[in-house]
């Protein structure tokens, strides 16, 4: 009898924790910053690579092998070739016949049609709406493909142009078709979009509040030359403001070039020091990984329709755990 009571108490405690977790996470708005190239689409406007070339290059970075008895490594080329072909087939849309699909597909160098934007991205949108969570999507790219990406997503969301997701219009997600810019210099960071103009000269809190207040889906072109002039390190990366005390908004950045090596990574996390304060510190990637920073796994993003949703949920849970520990 005593053990039964203990089980009941434990179950009630577990349920109360679940209720507490979901009541907090439902209230918290999600602002999801998404890279384009090799994250939600397979091409590279910076290098001019097409879909097949971009995929080929990516696969060379994830080729694996096996170590022999005497320490000599051999690459399993046959496995790589098989994986390569399967990956191409997974996001090829050559079998899809749809008159309005041209904005959302691209012809590869091999003559086949491919999804230009990965289906797992659209699945993420559906899942976030189904969760009942307030959210905004912010495309963040160094390339020149932002206008096309906004047009393509707008067609999918407003006109039902995607053959795999014909009911996206039911999600009621607005798209801001005006691409913004984020420019960095030694004097500070300036964000601009149409008539909006926000600068760190007025304090970094203002930029955080601006990005926390965005609605629907939009995007900004980040400053590639600044990243290059900072030797492609964290110091010149795409800026992301993080308030670890904020219980109402959580920012998450997904990019294939986020790496644990801060001398070779693409996002510059600027963490506020105090609740409501304006001073920030440069955080290392490691301390924010799977909380606000996610390195995209392109192969999984292609092969697993739920990939982005799963990674976002991991970040939401870790962020909530950090808030609870801080409150305790």
Percent share of the chain, pLDDT over 70 = 73
Kind of pairing between the strands at 29-34 and 249-255: parallel
Model pLDDT, residue 49:
61
Greatest CA separation for the chain? 71
Cα end-to-end span (Å), the chain: 33
The span from the CA of 280 to the CA of 203, in Å, is: 10
**DSSP character for 284?**
P
Model pLDDT, residue 34:
98
Instruction: Tell me how many degrees the CA angle 76-78-83 measures, rounded to the nearest 5.
Output: 100
Instruction: Tell me how many degrees the CA angle 46-113-86 measures, rounded to the nearest 5.
Output: 90
Spell out the per-residue pLDDT of the chain, length 328, in tens.
444 444 444 344 433 443 444 444 456 999 999 999 999 998 655 566 666 666 666 665 655 555 555 555 544 444 444 455 555 555 555 444 444 456 787 777 777 777 889 999 999 999 999 999 999 999 999 999 999 999 999 999 999 888 899 999 999 999 999 999 999 999 999 999 999 999 999 899 999 999 999 999 999 999 999 999 999 999 999 999 999 999 999 999 999 999 999 999 999 999 999 999 999 999 999 999 999 999 999 999 999 999 999 999 999 999 998 887 766 5
Q: What is the pLDDT of residues 241-296, one digit of tens each?
A: 999 999 999 999 999 999 999 999 999 999 999 999 999 999 999 999 999 999 99
The span from the CA of 36 to the CA of 314, in Å, is: 21
The span from the CA of 322 to the CA of 97, in Å, is: 47
Q: Nearest-CA neighbor of 105 among 87, 93, 122, 88? A: 93
Model pLDDT, residue 104:
82
Model pLDDT, residue 18:
39
Question: Who contacts 219 (Cβ-Cβ below 8 Å, separation ≥6)?
Answer: 138, 139, 140, 141, 146, 149, 150, 176, 179, 180
Question: Who contacts 312 (Cβ-Cβ below 8 Å, separation ≥6)?
Answer: 30, 32, 124, 128, 252
Instruction: Tell me how many degrees the CA angle 297-163-133 measures, rounded to the nearest 5.
Output: 60
Question: Who contacts 319 (Cβ-Cβ below 8 Å, separation ≥6)?
Answer: 250, 291, 292
Model pLDDT, residue 9:
40
Neighbours of 26 (CB within 10 A): 11
Is-contact 181 163, C-beta < 8 A?
Answer: no
Model pLDDT, residue 52:
65
Model pLDDT, residue 197:
97
Model pLDDT, residue 101:
55
Model pLDDT, residue 87:
54
Model pLDDT, residue 90:
53
């Amino acid at each position: 009898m005593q053990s039964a009571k203990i089980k009941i108490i434990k179950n009630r405690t577990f349920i109360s924790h679940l209720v507490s977790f979901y009541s907090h996470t439902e209230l918290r708005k999600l602002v999801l910053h998404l890279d384009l190239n090799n994250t939600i689409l397979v091409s590279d406007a910076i290098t001019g690579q097409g879909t097949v070339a971009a995929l080929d290059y990516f696969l060379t970075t994830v080729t694996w092998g096996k170590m022999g008895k005497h320490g000599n490594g051999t690459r399993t080329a046959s496995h790589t070739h098989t994986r390569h072909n399967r990956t191409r087939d997974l996001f090829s849309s050559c079998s899809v016949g749809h008159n309005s699909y041209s904005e959302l597909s691209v012809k590869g160098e091999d003559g086949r049609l491919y999804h230009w934007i990965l289906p797992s991205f659209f699945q993420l949108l559906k899942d976030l709406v189904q969760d009942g969570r307030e959210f905004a999507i912010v495309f963040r790219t160094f390339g020149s493909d932002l206008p096309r990406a906004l047009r393509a997503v707008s067609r999918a969301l407003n006109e039902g142009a995607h053959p795999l997701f014909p009911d996206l219009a039911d999600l009621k997600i607005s798209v801001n078709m005006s691409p913004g810019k984020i420019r960095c210099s030694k004097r500070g960071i300036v964000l601009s979009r149409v008539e909006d103009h926000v600068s760190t000269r007025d304090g970094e809190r203002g930029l955080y509040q601006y990005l926390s207040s965005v609605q629907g889906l939009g995007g900004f072109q980040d400053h590639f030359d600044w990243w290059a002039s900072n030797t492609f390190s964290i110091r010149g990366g795409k800026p992301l403001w993080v308030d670890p005390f904020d219980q109402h908004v959580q920012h998450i950045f997904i990019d294939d070039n986020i790496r644990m090596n801060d001398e070779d990574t693409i996002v510059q996390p600027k963490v506020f020091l105090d609740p409501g304060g304006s001073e920030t510190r440069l955080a290392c990637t490691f301390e924010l990984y799977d909380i606000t920073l996610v390195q995209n796994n392109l192969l999984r993003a292609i092969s697993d329709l739920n990939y982005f949703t799963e990674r976002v949920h991991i970040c939401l849970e870790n962020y909530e755990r950090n808030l609870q520990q801080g409150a305790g």
